[in-house]
Structure 1
Amino acid sequence: MARATTPAVELEVSGRTVRVTSPDRVVFPGRGLTKLDVVQYFVSVGDGILGALRDRPTTLERWPKGVFEGARMSTRADNSGDAFYQKRLPQGAPDYVETATIAFPSGRTADQVCPTELAVVAWAANMGTLTFHPWPVRSSDVDAPDQMRIDLDPQPGTDFADAVRVAPELRALLHELGMEGWPKTSGGRGLHVFVPVEPRWTFTQARRATIALGRELERRLPEQVTMKWWKEERGQKIFVDYNQMARDRTIASAYSIRANPRATVSAPLRWEELGDVHPDDFDVLSMPARFAEVGDLFHALSAPTPEDPERPAYSLEPLLELADRDEAEHGAGDLPYPPEYPKMPGEPKRVQPSKDRDRKRAADAGSPADAAADGTAG
């Protein structure tokens, strides 16, 4: 006998009716959380999640079958996974879902979901969206970042506590530059710090500023911080992932759910509580009560409104000046871009160091095949 289909549930979300289909479908088996639980979670932190997404082109990370053991994400090479990234407006979207046209590094463009109201978040959650990946731009100018996003990424042998130990030095550096940052858990082992900036620089400049910041942090904490792009060179340190500021690279928004068995969420934090919390403290079940208690700790990063127009926005000029000094005094130029990017002006070789050494040894030994692969054969 076929299993009976549970009737859809209709929720009133900020004046709109959002239909939740298959509301009892289990999304997180280990926690017993259903699709309806997920949608209601986002509604419960509505001001926060909408503040993180409002007017931002947003990629949807969709897990329509739930987060079960063995579930995997589709990739460019293999699209047969159980989850996927939705970069274009899905077919059949309600007419209240607005879009913004963005350009990828390849030069192709797409109309991407650009949330303007909480019903859009609930609609996306009904389609299996757990994590929202907003661009660091507003729809009014999709080529001018208004946030510098600093990703303190623990490498093997390190964890969240190591990222927390780096955070006070990062904040002190930001203060020296006349800036302030807002921290949050990644929802995993990492720590994110968002800095609102004036939207008058390009992605290339914002990335260059982030590189300069990371290099200065590495100079101050050489045993704890690395800027090495290649994993084999990083060691047991915190990697400042500067390429998160490259075009079309995004970070999970505040209040997004992460696709792990515990259903953790990316939680905004106060600086003074960093040493007292753990990412597992914040999940779909615990976050609504915390939000009701502390409010939106990322409010300063949300879009201004006519009723609440004041927001901080800092200049990137001090960091760009630091980048100029690094290049002039230390020969520290650009760093590698992600592999899917076209070769960028001024970018160093995008070759894993160990492979580069192997090629050079082969060329020195006179191996025609390896020399040809290295472009040195005649």
Structure 2
Amino acid sequence: MAAKAVELEAGGRVVRVSSPDKMYFPELGLTKLDVIRYYLAVGDGLLAALRERPTTMERWPGGVREGMRLVTRMGDGGDAFYQKRVPKGAPDWVQTATIRFPSGRTADEVCPTELATIAWMGNLGTLRFHPWPVRMADTELVDELRIDLDPQPGTDFADAARAALEFREVLADAGLEGMPKTSGGRGVHVFVPVQGCGFIEARHAVIALGRELARRLPDRVTTHWWKEERGERIFVDFNQMARDRTIAAAYSIRPVPQARVSAPLTWAELESASPDDFTVVTMQERYAEFGDVWAPLYEQGPGRIDTALAWFARDAEAGEGEMPYPPEYPKMPGEPPRVQPSKKVAEHWDADGNRVEG
């Protein structure tokens, strides 16, 4: 028989936890209640990462077991799913914000403003929190660049960490400052506070910064969108900066048996870190000792992306301009053809990148 619901205090509110003994990570013996207690243990840091940001919930209501499947569309019959719209029946103290998708459609999405909201999201089975790089006051104004250094086959976390350390120098040359975290997998993320800008400008800034990193480490880093061109290098996934594409927040839990988490790091820690060092269990111990090591990131003033945009303009004049958008996007201005190079036949495409039938 399932245990009765329990109530937890979270930031001055009482949050009900249903099925608290449901096993979420069997190999570690971690229950749903353990997961929510983890969120409370790192609460200040997790709330700092999510505060006032529209946040997509990656929900695993049945826990994590071998063979479970995450689906991207509701009704596809998977075990876990993304929830972008605020669920019906949400408490009246759960704040929301309206976000706009690339299609032009809109949705009201949960916007955490207090710890109780995070605990409530946890009760829905949320393991990874995917915040937009905007705030609820203006959901068209990007205030944070997110750089995803993604290892390709033949590379690993250590390669991504070395690339990130060089990327820190690129940021400095652009007048910017950020901090790294593990992805919870093999990758490294770097977050950079910036003065408000549009989504296209933010994406162009990341493209330019990524290209500069690739110039400095041509054998180890690439910005090539097509997998057949990447080789055994770290890919700077610039499209994670496109509208409605997000990166998991710091302290999010990766749905793997080890319950690894996305761990905020200092630059001094990065080179010797390993993703396996940071789990739901060990992060609570680390947080109790050091607190949120990203606190300085939130306290620093936002940088300007002017230099990065100047680099993008310079590259465009040299023939390296816009890059392909994610496949679900409508055709974007200046975008090259969305066809992998090995399949592109020149006479089938016009100068604007539109397919010509014939």
Per the shorter chain, which TM-score range? over 0.9
Q: 1:238 aligns with which of 234, 241, 252?
A: 234
Q: Which has the higher strand share?
A: 2
With 50-59 and 267-276 compared, the bigger mean Cα shift is at 267-276
The CA deviation string for residues 170-219 of structure 1, in whole angstroms up to 9 with x for no partner, is 111111122111100001000000010001x1000000010000111111
Alignment correspondent of 2:320: 332
- Counterpart residue type for residue 312 of structure 1: G
Q: Are the aligned partners of 1:52 and 1:301 in contact in 2 as well (CA < 8 Å)?
A: no
Alignment correspondent of 2:278: 282
SS in 2 for 1:90: coil
- Counterpart residue type for residue 327 of structure 1: A
Q: What is the CA–CA distance in structure 2 between the aligned matches of 1:226 and 1:90, rounded to whole Å?
A: 39
Q: What is the CA–CA distance in structure 1 between the aligned matches of 2:118 and 2:277, rounded to whole Å?
A: 23
Q: Are the aligned partners of 1:58 and 1:112 in contact in 2 as well (CA < 8 Å)?
A: yes
Cα 1:178/1:375, change in 2 over 3 Å: closer
Note the C-alpha offset of 1:294. Answer: 1.4
SS in 2 for 1:285: helix
The CA deviation string for residues 88-112 of structure 1, in whole angstroms up to 9 with x for no partner, is 0011111110000000000000000
Mapping of residues 1-378 of structure 1, within 5 Å: 4-76=1-73, 79-199=76-196, 201-302=197-298, 311-328=300-317, 330-357=318-345, 375-377=356-358
Cα 1:335/1:173, change in 2 over 3 Å: same
SS in 1 for 2:109: strand
- Counterpart residue type for residue 235 of structure 1: G
- Counterpart residue type for residue 129 of structure 1: T
SS in 2 for 1:143: strand
Q: What is the CA–CA distance in structure 2 between the aligned matches of 1:325 and 1:375, rounded to whole Å?
A: 30
Q: What is the CA–CA distance in structure 2 between the aligned matches of 1:376 and 1:250, rounded to whole Å?
A: 35
Q: What is the CA–CA distance in structure 2 between the aligned matches of 1:234 and 1:80, rounded to whole Å?
A: 33
SS in 2 for 1:212: helix
Note the C-alpha offset of 1:74. Answer: 1.1
Q: What is the CA–CA distance in structure 1 between the aligned matches of 2:178 and 2:300, rounded to whole Å?
A: 13
Alignment correspondent of 1:366: none
- Counterpart residue type for residue 356 of structure 2: G
Q: Are the aligned partners of 2:184 and 2:253 in contact in 1 as well (CA < 8 Å)?
A: yes
SS in 2 for 1:207: helix
Q: What is the CA–CA distance in structure 1 between the aligned matches of 2:355 and 2:242, rounded to whole Å?
A: 27
Q: Are the aligned partners of 2:2 and 2:21 in contact in 1 as well (CA < 8 Å)?
A: no
Note the C-alpha offset of 1:293. Answer: 1.3
Note the C-alpha offset of 1:301. Answer: 4.1
Alignment correspondent of 2:351: none
Q: What is the CA–CA distance in structure 2 between the aligned matches of 1:119 and 1:277, rounded to whole Å?
A: 31
Unaligned runs of 5+ in 1: 303-309, 364-372
Q: What is the CA–CA distance in structure 2 between the aligned matches of 1:78 and 1:35, rounded to whole Å?
A: 24
How many residues are paired up?
353
Q: Give the aligned CA root-mean-square deviation in angstroms.
A: 1.5
Runs of 4+ in 1 over 6 A off after TM superposition: none
Length-normalised TM-score, structure 1: 0.91
- Counterpart residue type for residue 180 of structure 2: P
- Counterpart residue type for residue 376 of structure 1: E
Q: Are the aligned partners of 1:160 and 1:278 in contact in 2 as well (CA < 8 Å)?
A: yes
- Counterpart residue type for residue 314 of structure 1: G
Length-normalised TM-score, structure 2: 0.96
Note the C-alpha offset of 1:376. Answer: 3.3
Note the C-alpha offset of 1:78. Answer: 6.8
For the pair shown, which has the larger CA radius of gyration, 1 or 2?
Answer: 1
Q: What is the CA–CA distance in structure 1 between the aligned matches of 2:74 and 2:334, rounded to whole Å?
A: 28
SS in 1 for 2:232: coil
Note the C-alpha offset of 1:30. Answer: 1.3
Q: What is the CA–CA distance in structure 2 between the aligned matches of 1:19 and 1:34, rounded to whole Å?
A: 15
SS in 1 for 2:281: coil
